[in-house]
Amino acid sequence: MRQPEQDQQAKKAAMKTLREERKTLIKAASTKMKHQKNAIDAILDQLKDGAQTIPTLAAATGASTAETLWYMAALKKYGKIKEAEKDGGYFKYQLTR
């Protein structure tokens, strides 16, 4: 075998080893991303019905208020939602459209 072919096979073997070693990490990251996407989609679906507070959204989606607040902060940062009127001690949030 020539040197370039040996180098190619060595690279393939190294990549295969890396994939095998990192399989559980990749699966965990993929699972977390799916959970985040589902949580954000649930929040956005709830906001289609109108402005809501974080505790209301948390109850409707089944997530904790801390988790809901985290996703709401990200959605606000990236311009997907905005603050609406205040409802007691909480702001309501709505889609920016």
pLDDT digits (tens, 9 = 90+) for 51-74: 999 999 999 999 999 999 999 999
Confidence of residue 1 (pLDDT cuts 50, 70, 90): low
Instruction: List, for residues 3-17, the tens digit of each pLDDT value.
Output: 788 889 999 999 999
pTM: predicted TM-score of the whole model, two decimal places: 0.78
Exposure b/e, 52-81, CB count within 10 A at least 16 = b: bbbebbbebbebeeebbeebbeebeeeebb
